[in-house]
Amino acid sequence: MSTILVNSLTTAIRGQKLLGARGIYSTVKKVTNNPYLGGCGYGLEVQGDTRSALSILEGGGIRVIAVV
């Protein structure tokens, strides 16, 4: 299981909808004290193929900050 970090809750929800439409289950998760985000932020916890999820998100215009 991986967490894909994004810059806002709105972006995380948009990403979750994109992934769900392609059959990839994800959960929006609040991320605290993460150096990639400069503090707190949001991520998508993905179960399954992270590479496919990243490809779908980037293709849908979602800016990915990091994968942890």
Q: What is the pLDDT of residues 34-67, one digit of tens each?
A: 787 777 889 999 988 999 999 999 999 999 999 9
Domain residue limits at 59: 2-67
Contact 15, 4 (CB under 8 A): yes
What pLDDT, on the 0 to 100 scale, is given for residue 25?
96
The CATH number given to whatever domain includes residue 19 is 3.30.70
What pLDDT, on the 0 to 100 scale, is given for residue 37?
73
What pLDDT, on the 0 to 100 scale, is given for residue 39?
79
What pLDDT, on the 0 to 100 scale, is given for residue 9?
94
Work out how many domains the chain is built from and give that number: 1
Select from 20, 11, 6, 12 the least CA-distant residue to 64. 6
Q: Which position has the token pair 């991986």?
A: 2
